[in-house]
Amino acid sequence: MSDIRFFTPENRLAAAIDDPSGMLVDDAIAEADRQLALAAVESARKIDESLELIYRLSAQAAPGRLDALYQAVREVAGLAGLAQLTELGRAAHTFCSLIDLGQAKGTLPQDQIQVNVDVLRLLRRPERFADAERKALLDNLNGVLDKARRTAAA
């Protein structure tokens, strides 16, 4: 006798979507976009707080630093899109992957941390750079991550 039960639950979400009530999809998306635009300033402020924390953590060698660094960088990755800082978000995401590798090994080379922190600092003000320069910065971080992955796999 198997302890596995397969079943199809009532799909109330599908019923709610088919029910002609509430807002139209286009209106709801437009309203959401408007609310997100309002959140951009607050998101940028929180990003700056996280970046300050990242700068401090990157300069010290305290126990548990990688965990704290991961949380702060992930905060940046999560908010960057709201603040229209897409490339900063990509850089933070790459940095998160690098820290994740470092957490698995228990350590992460300081030069790899520093180059990521430097790029985060630069991409906080993306308007200062040309498209090609911003792309080169991101490519550089991806190269660092690829190298770290190869080292971890070896």
Partner 1 sequence: MIGGQDTFPFIRGLRQNADDEHNRFAPVILLSAHSASDKVAEARDCGINFFVAKPISPMVIMKRVLWVAKNTRQCLETPSYAGPDRRFRNGSPPPGVPERRRANAYRVEQSA
Contact string 82-101 vs partner 1 (x = CB under 8 A): x---x--x--xx--xx--x-
Give the span between the Cα atoms of 94 and 108, in whole angstroms.
14
Q: Is 11 in the site for partner 1 (CB under 8 A)?
A: yes
Which region, judged by CB under 8 A, interacts with partner 1, from 30-38, 48-56, 105-113, 124-132?
30-38
Q: Shortest distance, CB of residue 118 to partner 1, whole angstroms?
A: 20
CB of 17 to partner 1, least distance (A): 5
Angle 87-53-132 from CA coordinates, rounded to 5°: 20
Stretch that binds partner 1, among 53-61, 69-77, 118-126, 140-148 (CB under 8 A): 69-77
* Cα separation of the two ends of the chain: 46
Stretch that binds partner 1, among 31-39, 44-52, 124-132, 141-149 (CB under 8 A): 31-39
- 12 touching partner 1, by CB under 8 A: yes
Backbone angles phi, psi at 26, to 5 degrees: -60, -40
Quote the CA–CA distance of 16 and 2 in Å, as a whole number.
34
Q: Does 81 bind partner 1 (CB under 8 A)?
A: yes
**Non-local CB neighbours of 113 within 8 Å, separated by 6+ positions:** 58, 69
Nearest-CA neighbor of 116 among 99, 138, 89, 95?
95
Q: Given the complex with partner 1, which of 16 and 136 has the nearer CB atom?
A: 16
Q: 3-class DSSP state for residue 23?
A: coil
Residues that bind partner 1 (CB under 8 A): 3-9, 11-14, 16-17, 25, 28-29, 32-33, 36, 70, 73-75, 77-82, 86, 89, 92-93, 96-97, 100, 103-104
